[in-house]
Amino acid sequence: MAVFADGRVPVEVVTDRAALAASLAARPSAAVLSEGVETLVPEGASTGASLASLASAHAVGCACCAGAMRSPVAQALDRLFLGRMTRSCPWFDRVVALLPDPAARDALATILREDPVIPSRFRLEVGPPPPPPVVEKFPPDEP
C-alpha cells in the first residue's frame, strides 16, 4: 500500500475568536496568523504574525519571487516559516489563520495556490472526511 505524507505546514482558517480558541484548545502548538497590525499569541499558540503591510525583504528581480510586490499574506507566511526554520520563534506544527474578512480568506486561498514559494511550504488544511452513513441492521430472525 502506498503511503503519502505531506510535509507542508497545514493552514486552518477560522472566522472569529471563539473558533480560534476552540482550535487552539483542541490542538495547541500552532502559529496564529491574524488580520491587522496586532499580532495575536493567545493561550495555546506558539507564535503569531499579522497581515500588516511590510516592505519586501527581497531585492527587485530576486530569483524566488522575481522582485514582485508580495501580498501581506505571503509576507506573513514567509516570516512564520523563516522563524520556524531558524528557531527564532517557538516550533509550531500548523497555522491557524483568524480571518473574519472574506477578502482576506480569498487572498489566503489564492496565495496557497498561486504564489511562487508559499504552496511548497504551506497547504490548506482539509478537515477529516465525514463519517460513513449509519446503516441500521435489522435484528436477526428469531428461531
Q: What is the mean pLDDT of residues 111-119?
A: 91
Domain of 88 in residue numbering reads as 9-124
Written as nine digits, the cell of 63 is 530569483
Q: pTM for the full model?
A: 0.73
pLDDT bracket for residue 127 (50, 70, 90): low
* pLDDT score at 60: 57
pLDDT digits (tens, 9 = 90+) for 55-113: 555 565 566 555 556 788 888 898 889 988 898 888 889 999 999 889 989 999 999 99
Within-domain flag for 136:
no
Task: Give CA–CA dist 113/107, Å, rounded.
Answer: 10
Task: Give CA–CA dist 42/139, Å, rounded.
Answer: 51
Within-domain flag for 34:
yes
Within-domain flag for 97:
yes
